[in-house]
Chain A
Amino acid sequence: MSANLSAILYLVSGVLFILALRGLSSPETSRQGNLFGIIGMIIAVTVTFLSVGNFTSGFIYVLIFLTIGGSIGAFIAYRIPMTAMPELVAGFHSLVGLAAVFVAISAFINPDAFNLGTPGNIKLASLIEMAIGAAVGAITFSGSIIAFLKLQGIMSGAPITFKGQHALNALILVSIIVLTIYLCLSQSANLFWILIAVSFLIGFLIIIPIGGADMPVVISMLNSYSGWAAAGIGFTLENIALIITGALVGSSGAILSYIMCKGMNRSFFNVILGGFGATEQSAGEKNKEQRPVKSGNADDAAFLMKNASSVIIVPGYGMAVAQAQHALREMVDTLKKNDIKVSYAIHPVAGRMPGHMNVLLAEANVPYDEVFELEEINNDFANADVAFVIGANDVTNPVAKTDPQSPIYGMPVLDVEKCKSVLFVKRSLSPGYAGIDNDLFYKENTLMLFADAKKMTEDIIKNL
């Protein structure tokens, strides 16, 4: 196949990938978009086979390895529970990163196969691109592994900080640049290996100081990195599909990180430098005072909701932990049978990754047109009769609007307190992740329901 024809076909697959992302602008077009993505991938792989034109025994092995990897991937995709999506995505990012490192290594050892020169005499531009691809790939790999371990709970979600951490990280980053320069001058294989090793190390060090609840930002950021790594390799291979895709994924991840940071009213650097969870805990200890709380049971909750004309559900990650989403949907079905208007309000950082809560609700058969984002629904709280907060905490805290001293001041929150009455399902009065007391607990119109989210929801259904 001629180089020009294959370049055009790679362009076609790049365009199909753009359409795949474009499809996600609404659920109706999204499935078609995914199909475009799959077609784009098939084109890219087929064109590569044809342009290499090597259909000897090696080709058979490629198909075998492809099948092995594909089966593992398909198996995981069908078995993974939706609550574990963040871990899955983190795990997948690490694979992209490592694949980028492997491709870069292979290109370094055998540059002839990629038309990049001969070993020890690789074209300068290619060598730089290769080094960038390998370094970013390695950072993506080790960073994603740490994110995966933290999300999976194998590693503590608490930020790990030590003295001189930022200085060390800065030193390593500088050394990566210096190594790249020396690599270009000397073409030394040893320097290439050291560069990769140091990049693995920095990926690890960047993620360990970031707290578990900041994982939405971290996953988005690593998503972005995996794109830049792919783009770096794309430049090395002079492959248009890879360059386009890398740029798309890179900017996508960057936008998601931005949205997540805005959802928490924190700057990107603040998250990356880490240590949030550790410093704020002490603030929570101080203002722990005893204030009167109204608490109720499932019967009271059912009575309130039965007599309401509109109810807004505010789900949080706690709901997913308690696996209460199916019970919740059943409760809503019962309410709807009684002609009560029900909608769901989702905060941008509800869940452990962007859009996580929406997927969990969709899995429980909640129609997506009953689920609203913060800006869409925030004005409706004032007109609603009951807000049912389940598994959420900090994202409802009115302190973010009223107290400039509060660590979460300025964070966009759901105006739950404007509802006529608030039902708050929670196991205890303990503060949420930000470590601060929620004023909402003590409001006149709040009724606390102290119980496990799933059990309480089931009890309410019985009483409705």
Chain B
Amino acid sequence: MEIDPFIFRLSIFILSIFIGYYVVWSVTPSLHTPLMSVTNAISSVIIVGAIIAALSGNDGVVFSSSSIYGFLAIILAAVNIFGGFLVTQRMLAMYKKKKKDK
């Protein structure tokens, strides 16, 4: 009997939860705010679904009842991707080490 592809995806999902668990515990507490903003940015990879949805319209019809939701989702996800990565970068740029001599 063949294994349902769903089981493979479920395996990836479960293993990723464990990876997430160990990786996030190793994040230094002083970087927890950047952690939240960067997880925000990467969870916007949902834009992948939004793009598929937006391009699902038939030839000639760009805005159909289903693609319009895709376009809306693209805007929302794009705000998050750019906003999330840039604000993270801005924060991380502020973390500086002690200067030895002044």
Contacts and interface: CB of A to CB of B under 8 A. Distances in A.
A-B interaction: yes
Contact of A27 (B24, B88, B95): B95
A21 to B, nearest CB: 5
Contacts of A220: 36
A88 interface: yes
A153 interface: no
Contacts of A253: 36, 39
A77 B53 CA distance: 27
B74 A66 contact: yes
A244 B12 CA distance: 7
Contacts of B99: 367
Contact of B52 (A13, A67, A113, A346): A113
Interface string A235-270: 111111111111111111101100100000000000
A109 interface: yes
Interface residues of B, number: 85
Contact of A245 (B42, B54, B89): B42
A359 B91 contact: yes
Contacts of A72: 75, 78-79, 82-83
Given A92-B84, A103-B53, A354 B43 contact: no
Interface in A1-58: 10, 13-14, 17-18, 20-22, 24-27, 30-31, 33-34, 37-38, 40-41, 44-45, 48-49, 52, 54, 56-58
A58 B67 contact: yes
A73 B86 contact: yes
A82 interface: yes
Among A17, A44, A99, A105, chain B packs the most CB atoms within 10 A around the CB of A99
A80 interface: yes
Contacts of A49: 51
Interface string B40-51: 111111111111
A102 B9 contact: no
A311 to B, nearest CB: 16
A247 B16 CA distance: 6
Contacts of B45: 13, 17, 40-41, 44, 230, 241-242, 245
Interface in A62-102: 62, 65-74, 76-78, 80, 82, 85, 88-89, 92-93, 95-96, 98-100, 102
A227 B41 CA distance: 11
Contacts of A114: 49, 52-53, 56
A243 B12 contact: yes
Given A25-B26, A223-B40, A244-B12, 5 more contacts: A20-B42, A27-B95, A65-B75, A72-B78, A248-B23
25 contacts: A21-B23, A27-B28, A33-B38, A34-B34, A34-B88, A37-B41, A45-B48, A48-B48, A66-B74, A68-B75, A69-B77, A74-B83, A77-B85, A77-B90, A85-B87, A106-B73, A107-B53, A110-B53, A110-B67, A112-B56, A237-B52, A247-B14, A256-B36, A348-B29, A358-B29
The 8 A-B pairs of least Cβ separation, nearest first, read A69-B78, A355-B32, A113-B56, A73-B83, A73-B82, A110-B66, A247-B16, A251-B20
